[in-house]
Chains A and B, each alone.
Chain A
Amino acid sequence: MVEGIRSPAESTYWLIQGRMLFLSIHLLGLAGFSYIVAKRLRPLLRGQADVRFDRPVQRLGKVFQFWLGQWRHPRYPGAGILHILVFAGFLLLATRAFSLILGFSDNFFGATLVGHIYEMVREYATTIVFACMVVLAVRRLAFKPERYAVPAKYGKGHTADAVFLLALIAILMLADSVFEASKGAAQAQLGHPAEFLAFLSLPQILENLLAAVPLAGLQRLYLGSYLVHDLTFFFLLCYRPFGIQFHVETSLFSIFFAKLDRGTLKPVRWQVSDQQLDQVKSFGVKTFDDFTWKHMLDFYSCADCGRCSDNCPANAVGRPLSPRFLTIKARDYCFEHYPVLGKASNGVALVGSIYSEDEIWSCTTCGACEQECPLLIEYIDKIVDLRRGLVDECNVPQSLQKPLKALESRGNPYGKMEKKKADWTKSKEFQPDCRVKILDGSSPADTLYFVDSVTSYDDRMQAIAQATAKILDRLGVNFGILGAAEKDSGHEVRRFGEETLFMALRDHNVEAIKASGVQHIVTADPHAYNALKHDYKDVPPVEHISQVIAREVKAGNVTFQRADENKVYTYHDPCYLGRHNDVYDDPRDVLDAIPGMNRVEMARSRDRSFCCGGGGLMLFYEPKEEERIGVKRVQMAVEAGANVIVTACPFCMVNVEDAIKVAGLEGKMTAIDLTELVEKQMVCPRKSEVAVQGG
């Protein structure tokens, strides 16, 4: 009870006693919210199982880092800082809101020192949140950041709704401040000891503005602002689950339940082993409730920030894929078919209704979207699941059918004969220089060099195999290759939804690897690296060649000749080495060990690296696009001032060399693989027996 001014609980609002009115509003609001949330949970209960309750401590760690710590937000500094301020404000004001609503008092901590400090902090928080709302609204209306734009085919813009929400929050802050200010002004007029309002906070400013208002007016403002705050608060509570603001509630959960094992793929069904898969009637996602509950939760949690699509290479070149809208469309589908009011309906095939086939096949699985999302929403697993569904329905684009058939018959997408897989070791220029062992049992080795299809069969990429072999040889690594016994790693086969073919390739390779008796695996192909590391079980540890070289460089076992002074090099991070597996520094350390190396970084590097266009089966797919992804990447190299792009992946090399031609940059830009450059510059090191270590 505040002296001199009547509290809302004790007042009468249009003949209804305050206490009763607010109790009703609170109860209705909470009941409404509970009902809505229960309805929103319905589809999740029908969704597929997902294993997300393991490793709770690690999950809590993620909550601290990404939810409380807002770790991803500063990647877009403007919006990021603003959101951090708003989020911090929300947390600080939450206790205030609850205390107001539950009617304990308007100061949860009481008239203690902590209480006073909290009050001051709280008043600034209210001010800052209010100011942020104004700034954010201006941003939306006047500056219109591109990533918020909604292309016509996806419907009308989201700006009105966004501004509406910003306005509601602003009203909350304003109402709260008026509540404070009017009380303070009344107390001043009545000559009572006033609560000290934080200097230049919104409540304090308003208090000064309201100083001259007569007491009766202040009383009305006091009671009115409480009502407005209450109504707005509960309206927002019940409105949020109908749109992107639902992330306020769901973000904690989407982050807690986020995927812990990067680089891995969701199995066809959780808790169903490979051997049991024959009993599964349908593979992949065809209708909405084929999604797991966590994926459905992801659809609810999207804040429509557009960061994913802003970094998506497919989106950048005009392919029909936009990760943001993949999520928004699914969310809208869910809202429509599992409405809060009305009956649930389902069973519609998603591809063909909300998604197009080209949209689903356009993804290069680069992971840029997942890297950006502040809510840790997953995309790759969903795309792979949708592809599994299409494959299960025999709906595979013609351009992919031929390489898939070739992979089935010959173990590589080119249809080349198995016995020719090791032909690169027999070329006239190479063979005298370097003998490469075939691990067929006659001469064992400690390390397997897993070459994979493109490097073995492509005329141009064979140079990478030869360079890698020479490097391993000079480093004294006791290695061999599987030769005809090696089939494609199946990395893209799996990511294009052909799980059964992938398992056949994987099982064959695992057997061959085990039979060879090697203790370590090394590869120059990041896709093979990722497959051997994450998709394959029970194989020796695998490293990428850059990690091996970097280790030797650090140990002082390798020296290099001076680099060409006329060349400016830039390193392009392959998606499956960098972003998916966090190997950023080893290739750079190797390059920087070359004396006289002029190296520049592209604006988009490390985990912001821009995909080259994709590897494996993606090289066969013919998407509808305005330009090639690789061309955009090569232009970034030009902008960085480079004239040589260093790649560490054969597929990057294919795409980059192709893009240089298409972009008309021949003569101005060249590409070289890390292994080719190292082999060229390397001065023979001490030949100590070195073993490749596990990664």
Chain B
Amino acid sequence: MEILVCVRRVPDTSENEIALNAAGNDIERDDLVYSINEWDNYAVEEALQIAARVGGSVTVVTVGGEDDEEILRREMAMGATHGVLISDGAFAGSDARGIATILRAFVQKGKYDLILTGVQAEDGGALVGGMLAAMLDYPFASLVNSIEVLDGKTLKISREIAGGNKEVNQIDLPCVLSIQTGINEPRYVGMRGIRQVASIPIPTLGVSELNLDPQLVGLAAAKVQRVDYFTPALGKGAEMLQGSREEIVDKLFELVAAKGGLK
């Protein structure tokens, strides 16, 4: 089975403090550490596990620039056979629709049985996977937390819905799935693994290689654009208890008792 995983490089939320910059219109990007979007990492691991079970190979692709190559290498160190960078000045400012358009052009150049994305990105809207599916006229399912290959043509998948319940579906290949965290335990990738794949070439594809009409992508074509970042004016918020820990413990006890919280 040929599996394509669409990945994205994002600022790592656990290793950064996301804050506004001095000008107040963007996040402070100076000291940011980037890594692969957490959901996408789960998707790559899932793809690798499926390929190990039924045979086939995994390709990782990202739309971005030079800096994004590092996450492609990381996923190749995990086991992905091919990495592709899609990069062109014309793509700058694309919204989700634009990205999906670009990816559609790439998918149509190859032959993939299964396309995976993460459910969402830290700074994204959980849109690209669903849009890509519609553009390709492939069936789509989001929030997937389990995949079983029934045969070469169908998958049995379950989706995470409210209350911890699972919605079980059957879906035909080729299809697009967006993968939820916790579906598996991603394997470790270390510096050595990345060094070992350092010399494998990563092709870069642009507008011409993809036969894309530049009018369909980029800032001009984007119907959705981020205007700025801001921190919302804080409301009143909680009443913060003051004093020594002992005093706070006492005060809290009174409050809990008053609200009927004791047995």
Contacts and interface: CB of A to CB of B under 8 A. Distances in A.
Interface stretch (A11-19, A296-304, A393-401, A526-534): A393-401
B123 interface: no
Nearest to B194: A500
A500 B78 CA distance: 16
B187 A394 contact: yes
A405 B193 CA distance: 13
A417 to B, nearest CB: 6
B242 interface: no
Nearest to A420: B17
A500 B189 CA distance: 11
A504 B190 CA distance: 11
B185 to A, nearest CB: 5
Interface in B1-40: 12, 14-17, 31, 33, 35
A391 B188 contact: yes
A391 B77 CA distance: 13
Contact of B190 (A278, A391, A417): A391
Interface of B: 12, 14-17, 31, 33, 35, 78-79, 185-193, 195
A406 B13 CA distance: 11
A498 interface: yes
A499 B14 CA distance: 24
28 contacts: A278-B195, A391-B190, A392-B192, A394-B79, A394-B188, A394-B189, A394-B190, A395-B187, A396-B187, A398-B185, A398-B186, A400-B188, A401-B188, A404-B188, A404-B190, A405-B15, A405-B35, A408-B190, A408-B191, A410-B15, A415-B14, A415-B15, A417-B16, A417-B17, A499-B192, A500-B190, A500-B192, A504-B191
Nearest to A398: B185
Nearest to A388: B192
Nearest to B15: A415
Given A396-B188, A417-B16, 11 more contacts: A391-B190, A394-B189, A398-B186, A400-B188, A404-B190, A405-B15, A405-B35, A406-B14, A408-B191, A409-B33, A415-B15
A581 B186 CA distance: 38
The list of the 3 closest CB pairs from A to B, nearest first, reads: A396-B188, A415-B15, A500-B192
B9 to A, nearest CB: 13
Contact of A410 (B33, B187, B192): B33
Contact of B35 (A283, A409, A417): A409
A394 B191 contact: no
Contacts of A408: 190-191
Given A394-B78, A405-B35, A419-B31, A501 B14 contact: no
A493 to B, nearest CB: 10
A680 B188 CA distance: 45
A395 B191 contact: no
A360 to B, nearest CB: 14
A402 interface: yes
B145 to A, nearest CB: 16
Most buried by B among A283, A402, A404, A409: A409
B167 to A, nearest CB: 26
Interface in A404-425: 404-406, 408-410, 415, 417-419
A504 B189 CA distance: 15
Interface of A: 278, 283, 391-392, 394-396, 398, 400-402, 404-406, 408-410, 415, 417-419, 498-501, 504
Contacts of A398: 185-186
B196 to A, nearest CB: 8
A459 to B, nearest CB: 14
A408 B74 CA distance: 13
B13 to A, nearest CB: 10
Contacts of A400: 188
Contacts of A402: 14
A617 to B, nearest CB: 13
A398 B15 CA distance: 17
A217 B100 CA distance: 103
B75 to A, nearest CB: 12
Contacts of B17: 417
A501 B191 contact: yes
Most buried by B among A392, A394, A396, A404: A394
B147 to A, nearest CB: 20
Contacts of A409: 12, 15, 33, 35
A501 B12 contact: no
Contacts of B188: 391, 394-396, 400-401, 404
B90 to A, nearest CB: 31
B195 A500 contact: yes
Contacts of B192: 283, 392, 499-500
Contacts of B186: 398, 401
A394 B48 CA distance: 13
A264 to B, nearest CB: 21
Contacts of A419: 31
A393 to B, nearest CB: 9
Contacts of A404: 188, 190
A34 B263 CA distance: 78
Contacts of B187: 394-396
A498 B190 contact: yes
Contacts of A500: 190-192, 195
A418 B192 CA distance: 23
Given A406-B15, A409-B12, A415-B14, A394 B33 contact: no
Contacts of B79: 394
A398 B41 CA distance: 13
Contacts of B35: 405, 409
Most buried by A among B78, B188, B191: B188
A418 B16 CA distance: 11
Contacts of A499: 192
Contacts of B189: 394
A26 B104 CA distance: 83
Contacts of B193: 394
Contacts of B15: 405-406, 409-410, 415
B190 A501 contact: yes
A47 B63 CA distance: 48
A221 to B, nearest CB: 70
Nearest to A412: B15
A386 B187 CA distance: 17
Nearest to B48: A394
Nearest to A504: B191
B250 to A, nearest CB: 18
Contacts of B185: 398
A658 B41 CA distance: 34
A398 B79 CA distance: 18
B246 to A, nearest CB: 14
A499 B259 CA distance: 55
Contacts of A396: 187-188
Nearest to B77: A394
Contacts of B16: 417
Nearest to A396: B188
B67 to A, nearest CB: 14
A504 B192 CA distance: 11
Contact of B31 (A401, A415, A417): A417
A402 B13 CA distance: 12
Nearest to A499: B192
A499 B195 CA distance: 13
B11 to A, nearest CB: 11
Contacts of A410: 15, 33
Nearest to B192: A500
A65 to B, nearest CB: 40
A398 B33 CA distance: 20
A402 B41 CA distance: 13
B2 to A, nearest CB: 22
